[in-house]
């Protein structure tokens, strides 16, 4: 499928990380979602009911980051992907999660994981 909806650069604070020190204080995470979905019906109708509303997607991501605590970015990304596929008709979703303050001794912009999940086929 070549149609996509992209939400890029969402920023939320959450308590995620392997160590207790990382989870002691909220830290800024950045997320991107890319949903693969047929946008032809919305393109023809110009009706929100024929596409996926961005607002609930943002709130889904906010909830995953702010109301949960994961040790791994991989687990957070997987949880978001599962929730997006459950809540929308998207055929697939790619989730990118970036930790902007990485506890390593290096000059590093961020650490990122990216996962892609597809809807199970009947």
Query: pLDDT tens per residue, the chain (122 residues)?
Result: 689 999 999 999 999 888 888 888 889 999 999 999 999 999 999 999 999 999 999 999 999 999 999 999 999 999 999 999 999 999 999 999 999 877 777 888 888 999 999 998 76
The pTM for the full model equals 0.92
Catalytic residues, which ones? 99
Number of domains into which the chain is organized: 1
Give a three-class secondary structure readout of 2-59.
CCEEEEEEEEEEECCCCCHHHHHCCEEEEEEEEEECCCHHHHHHCCHHHCCCHHHHHH
Q: Which domain holds residue 99?
A: 4-118
The two most distant CA atoms of the chain are separated, in Å, by 53
Joined together, the tokens standing for residue 31 give: 């997320």
CATH assignment of the domain containing 19: 3.30.1130.10
- pLDDT computed for residue 1 by the predictor: 62
State which H helix or E strand residue 111 sits in.
strand 111-118
Of 41, 43, 39, 29, which Cα lies nearest the Cα of 5? 39
Of 102, 119, 103, which Cα lies nearest the Cα of 111? 102
């Amino acid at each position: 499928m070549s149609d996509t909806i992209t939400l890029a650069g969402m920023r939320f604070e959450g308590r995620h990380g392997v160590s207790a020190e990382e989870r002691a204080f909220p830290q800024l995470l950045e997320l991107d979602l890319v949903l693969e979905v047929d946008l032809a019906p919305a393109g023809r109708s110009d009706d929100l009911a024929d596409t996926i509303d961005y607002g609930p997607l943002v709130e889904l991501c906010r909830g995953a980051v702010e109301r949960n605590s994961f040790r791994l970015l991989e687990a957070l990304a997987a949880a978001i992907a599962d929730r997006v596929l459950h809540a929308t008709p998207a055929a697939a979703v790619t989730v990118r999660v970036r930790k902007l303050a990485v506890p390593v001794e290096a000059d590093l912009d961020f650490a990122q994981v990216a996962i892609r999940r597809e809807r199970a086929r009947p």
